């Protein structure tokens, strides 16, 4: 309402300026509207994704939004055009209502900065509550934070790790970490989902965790907090699970079906480059070649396993998994229709990952070496346009299902299929990795036995504003069966 008063006063005194403002904001609102309906106001995560996304992935994301969001965006822009094309008329005399409007606009403009000052904060004009100003501020401030984090990451990624290894006592010869993508736990039958879409995980001997919580709601932020040592909330990119394995004398391999923007441009690429051997199926960016399937990674693992090696081995596979659009992952295939084609493809993408894990497990069995495999997803997704024919899933940070992901550990000497019900956090992944591989480091002090029912305390997640939030206080977004 206050900004409407501003536009009215500009029309009275500076009509051409008002037209320019209306035109600019109409264009901006129209362009952002479809994206904003799914992801909300600009934040650190959306700006980080923008920096780590190429044209192909952007196109893919844009095609998932409902058509009527684009229609509304066109309508917004059309209204802006109509407003800009209005004929300028001679204004009437300045009246009391104009004065009240001016005072009201000024008061609202300074309301939030004054409140911040009164509550012990700092008076900043950019903290004004005007939506238009707030949008620009959110973009600029969060973009600067992303640039600062990328600069810090590049600096640390080029540094030598600071691990102090105390002991190395691996139980197995082969350790495999499979990092899934965008898989929410209740979409997998093995983890309580309504559909029998994961026959391998549902029956294999090993440990399945049905209360494992991801660190954040997007790939870069979540894995940055999961796979690196974290000090005061900031990932130390030089100290990650790969450099720890290297320091312990493991031979390390990183095979990815996700692209690399640049050598150290993303948290994941900076970790991958620390492995002894690295190979990306997509030689360019994230979506450089949509035809690459996760199962192609098995050709690379087969090559590694075909040769006997004396060193303990750490093999990491980074999947495309269930990344939106899921129908691009499954080539449009699904076995059961649930609400929308995209939701149905999403469920089938879990079956594809389950099939990959089964084949990888058999590869490891056939190698003749002792092995242990762990699989988890980086984060989950939530439903958008729920209950409609265009229902789809997207990133978010407001619901527990954004962070409820599968986690399992399968070893060559497992004799039974077991379920761990105790709550576990991805923030403790390095503690798990230390216990799992037998690598003890001075910088890692486990608080509990990860593969057990021992209580671990409350779980906190990092939202898209980089705030730590109690997971228990989040809302729910259940995967209901219609």
pLDDT attached to residue 286: 44
> Is there a single domain that holds both residue 216 and residue 342?
yes
Where among 128, 153, 178 does a domain terminate? 153
> Is there a single domain that holds both residue 328 and residue 464?
yes
Where among 96, 131, 153 does a domain terminate? 153
SS (H, E, C) 289-348: CCCCCHHHHHHHHHHHHCCCCCCCEEEEEECCCCCCCHHHHHCCCCCCCECEHHHHHHHH
pLDDT attached to residue 15: 74
Task: Say whether 183 sits in a helix, a strand or coil.
Answer: coil
**Residue 417 is inside which H or E element, if any?**
strand 417-420
> Is there a single domain that holds both residue 105 and residue 221?
no
> Is there a single domain that holds both residue 172 and residue 290?
yes
For residue 451, the tally of other CB atoms under 10 A from its CB is 16
Pick from 244, 251, 248: nearest CA to 443: 244
Distance between terminal CA atoms of the chain?
A: 41
Per-residue tens of pLDDT for the chain, all 482 residues: 656 666 666 666 777 887 888 888 888 888 888 878 777 777 776 777 676 665 555 666 677 778 888 899 999 989 889 888 888 777 666 767 767 766 766 666 666 666 666 676 665 656 666 677 777 777 887 788 878 877 877 777 778 999 999 999 999 999 999 999 999 999 999 999 999 999 999 999 999 999 999 999 998 899 999 999 999 999 999 999 999 999 999 999 999 998 664 444 577 888 999 999 999 886 554 444 556 899 999 999 999 999 999 999 999 999 999 998 899 999 999 999 999 999 999 999 999 999 999 999 999 999 999 999 999 999 999 999 999 999 999 999 999 999 999 999 999 999 999 999 999 999 999 999 999 999 999 999 999 999 999 999 999 999 998 899 999 999 999 998 76
> Is there a single domain that holds both residue 88 and residue 220?
no
Domain-embedded: residue 303: yes
> Is there a single domain that holds both residue 310 and residue 217?
yes
> Is there a single domain that holds both residue 318 and residue 458?
yes
Where among 153, 173, 190 does a domain terminate? 153
What angle (nearest 5°) sits at the alpha carbon of residue 278, between those of residues 243 and 149? 60
Q: In angstroms, rounded to a whole number, what is the distance separating the alpha carbons of residues 314 and 305?
A: 11
**Residue 247 is inside which H or E element, if any?**
helix 241-247
**Residue 420 is inside which H or E element, if any?**
strand 417-420
- Supply the angle between the helices 15-39 and 2-13 in degrees, to the nearest 10: 150
> Is there a single domain that holds both residue 332 and residue 215?
yes
DSSP state for residue 464 in the 8-state scheme: T
Domain residues for the domain of 46 are 2-153
pLDDT attached to residue 281: 86
> Is there a single domain that holds both residue 184 and residue 290?
yes
> Is there a single domain that holds both residue 236 and residue 173?
yes
pLDDT attached to residue 139: 81
Pick from 32, 436, 56, 406: nearest CA to 210: 406
CATH code of the domain covering residue 204: 3.40.720.10
> Is there a single domain that holds both residue 351 and residue 410?
yes
For residue 56, the tally of other CB atoms under 10 A from its CB is 17
């Amino acid at each position: 309402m206050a900004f409407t008063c501003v536009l009215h006063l500009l029309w009275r005194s500076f009509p051409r300026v008002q037209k320019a403002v209306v035109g600019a904001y109409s264009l901006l609102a129209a362009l952002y509207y479809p994206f904003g309906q799914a992801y909300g106001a600009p934040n650190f995560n959306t700006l980080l994704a923008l920096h780590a996304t190429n044209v192909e992935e952007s196109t893919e994301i844009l095609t998932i939004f409902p058509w009527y969001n684009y229609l509304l965006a066109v309508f917004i822009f059309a209204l802006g055009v109509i407003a800009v094309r209005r004929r300028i008329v001679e204004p009437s005399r300045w009246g009391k209502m104009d004065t009240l409007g001016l005072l009201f606009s000024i008061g609202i403009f300074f309301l939030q900065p004054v409140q911040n000052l009164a509550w012990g904060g700092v008076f900043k004009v950019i903290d004004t509550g005007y939506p238009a100003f707030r949008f620009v501020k959110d973009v600029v401030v969060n973009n600067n934070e992303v640039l600062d984090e990328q600069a810090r990451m590049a600096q640390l990624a080029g540094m030598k790790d600071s691990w102090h290894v105390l002991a190395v006592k691996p139980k197995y010869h082969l350790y495999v970490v499979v990092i899934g993508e965008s898989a929410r736990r209740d979409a997998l039958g093995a983890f309580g989902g309504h559909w029998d879409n994961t026959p391998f995980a549902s029956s294999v001997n090993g440990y399945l965790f049905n209360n494992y919580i991801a660190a954040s709601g997007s790939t870069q932020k979540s894995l940055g907090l999961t796979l690196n040592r974290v000090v005061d909330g900031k990932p130390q990119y030089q100290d990650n699970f790969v450099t720890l394995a290297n320091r312990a004398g493991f031979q390390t391999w990183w095979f990815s079906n996700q692209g690399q923007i640049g050598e150290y441009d993303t948290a994941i690429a900076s970790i991958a480059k620390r492995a002894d051997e690295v190979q990306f199926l997509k030689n360019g960016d994230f979506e450089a070649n949509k035809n690459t399937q996760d199962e192609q990674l098995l050709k690379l693992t087969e090559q590694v396993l075909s040769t006997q090696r004396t060193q303990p081995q750490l093999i990491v596979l980074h999947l495309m998994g269930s990344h939106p659009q899921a129908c691009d992952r499954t080539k449009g295939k699904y076995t059961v229709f649930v609400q929308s084609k995209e939701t149905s493809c999403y469920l089938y993408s879990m079956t594809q990952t389950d099939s990959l894990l089964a084949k990888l497990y058999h590869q490891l069995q056939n190698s003749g070496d002792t092995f242990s495999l762990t699989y988890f997803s980086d984060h989950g997704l939530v439903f958008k346009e729920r209950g409609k024919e265009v229902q789809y899933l997207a990133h978010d940070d407001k619901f527990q299902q954004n962070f409820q992901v599968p986690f399992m550990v399968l070893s060559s000497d497992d004799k039974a299929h077991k379920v761990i019900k105790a709550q576990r956090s991805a923030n403790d992944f390095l503690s798990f990795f230390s216990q799992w591989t037998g690598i003890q480091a001075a910088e890692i002090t486990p608080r509990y036995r990860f593969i057990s029912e021992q209580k671990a305390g409350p779980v906190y997640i990092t939202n898209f504003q980089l705030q730590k939030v109690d997971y228990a206080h989040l809302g729910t977004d259940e995967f209901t069966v219609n």
